[in-house]
Amino acid sequence: MTYDYDLFVIGAGSGGLAASKRAASYGAKVAIAEADLVGGTCVIRGCVPKKLMVYASKFSHLYQDAVGYGWSQVESSFDWQHLVTVVDKEVRRLSQLHISFLEKAGVELISGKASLLDPHTIQVGERKITADKILIAVGGEAVKPNLPGMEFAITSREMFLLEEQPKRLAVLGAGYIAVEFAGIMRGLGSQVTQLIRGDMFLKGFDEDIRSGVSEGMKQHGIEVIANVIGQKIEKVPEGLQLTFSEKGKDVDSTITVDAVLVAIGRAPNLGGLGLDKAGVKVVNCEDEDLPRLHGYSVSCAIAVDEYSRTSQANIFAVGDCTNRINLTPVAIGEGRAFADTEFGNNPRIFSHETVPSAVFSQPEAATVGLSETEAKAKLGDDAVQIYRARFRPMFHSLTGAEEKTMVKLVIDKQSDRVLGAHMTGEYAAEIIQGMAIAVKMGATKKDFDATVGIHPSTAEEFVTLR
């Protein structure tokens, strides 16, 4: 049987782009379908525009900090439309760049939404295309809670394109996206109220990261209301009124804002994909209480094995739609491992162990390896040694700001191995990236101690912990 393509990739995001180019480099005939701008969530409405907005938001803090160093007070104003326009322009430039990379790699780009008709046939618009192997890399999309008035709320997708800066913003959620946008919008001058259903941000992260981020955000003027359940949103003459119930309070409370951002998780983008027609199974979709997008909840995922193979032998899936670790570098790694295995005669599994990540909150947080709680649950309380320092970074010794940096190592007492490295504070992502190499290589605390620090720096704290 001959097919139109050796590989057809659905979704030109991080995972799909990486896999398609790698497969083409081995001589495979590859096509990739994309219904939106090429680049996917990270480039178009995630990591890239988010980080640019984080940069934009930090100037207000810098202007204040500069006064402590002898600069006169800066009277500056901020132009939201300018930022949104230049960020959008940069995103479109990168999207074009990705298209040129595909051309260079010999991958054919097909515009339109693809759906599966059977295990080897894909429909895009009027076109029916056949392929030997298919890779699903459709990513995810933000969900909203099932509450009255949620049509008035926005998700991170719309945040990048708002015509006006909301002067008063309510943020629902306590994960990556919620804390990052709370920091961005506060830095840009909005009044931000963050409503979280538990009592702390960033569930799953080391407790010292959670408390460090929480404290820092409050210091930056973000109002946090904990143990809250959102009830409804209504349009009122003054803006949007968000009603919520607070644990321990008999009556509901309200706040009136210009925009409500919901960031309560993302569901795989599987609507209309025709998975059932191709015999591709999904898992973890049973919980009826979870918010859904086109029928799929935040816990749903395409079921895959360690080689990213679905229940259909010739169909594979990588990235957020498999809900393993939903990070761009992971999707890229999974995509390349798939291409090496299937087209490069180099069978290999992408390791999901010791994956570092950062939250671009303010203060920034970054982490690799086990948290203290995870390490103690795995090895027992007495088998784990914790080294931690919390201090005012040198930069703030003259600014007067009460900013704190936290660095922490989680050590296996018996082997002396570093099981986890965690940090909150300026450049946490940059610093933990280096630590991640050491942790991945199995470095011990003695190795860290034997490393000479770079002085004066924050990173040196990791090699001087006592």
Q: Exposed, middle or buried by CB within 10 Å (0-12, 13-18, 19+), for 29?
A: middle
Among 53, 263, 365, 375, binds ligand NDP (CB under 6 A): 263
**Choice between 16 and 230, CB closer to ligand NDP:** 230
Kindly state the smallest distance separating residue 64's Cβ from ligand NDP, in Å. 25
Q: Which residue is nearest to ligand NDP (CB)?
A: 175
Q: CA-CA distance, 30 to 332, in Å (whole number)? A: 17
Q: Strand 365-369 vs strand 384-391: parallel, antiparallel, or unpaired?
A: unpaired
Residue 232 CA from chain centroid, whole number: 27
Give how far Cα 119 sits from Cα of 130, 135, 276, 314, 369, Å. Answer: 9, 11, 10, 7, 38
Pair of tokens at residue 459: 């990173």
Host H or E run for residue 41: helix 40-45
Kindly state the smallest distance separating residue 203's Cβ from ligand NDP, in Å. 4
Name which of residues 100 to 159 contact ligand NDP (CB under 6 A): 145
Q: CA-CA distance, 206 to 117, in Å (whole number)? A: 45
Per-residue string for binding with ligand NDP, 347-376, x by CB under 6 A?
----------xxxx----------------
**Choice between 99 and 179, CB closer to ligand NDP:** 179
Which one of 3-11, 176-184, 186-194, 362-370 is the stretch in contact with ligand NDP (CB under 6 A)?
176-184
Q: How many residues bind ligand NDP (CB under 6 A)?
A: 23
Residue 54 found at the interface with ligand NDP (CB under 6 A): no
**Choice between 321 and 359, CB closer to ligand NDP:** 359
Kindly state the smallest distance separating residue 433's Cβ from ligand NDP, in Å. 12
Residue 198 found at the interface with ligand NDP (CB under 6 A): yes
8 A C-beta contact, residue 29 and residue 16: no
8 A C-beta contact, residue 299 and residue 118: no
Q: CA-CA distance, 78 to 350, in Å (whole number)? A: 44
Residue 326 found at the interface with ligand NDP (CB under 6 A): yes
Q: Which residues are catalytic?
A: 455
Polymer length of the chain: 466
Q: Where along the sequence are the contacts to ligand NDP (CB under 6 A)?
A: 145, 172-178, 180, 197-198, 203, 230, 263-266, 326-327, 357-360
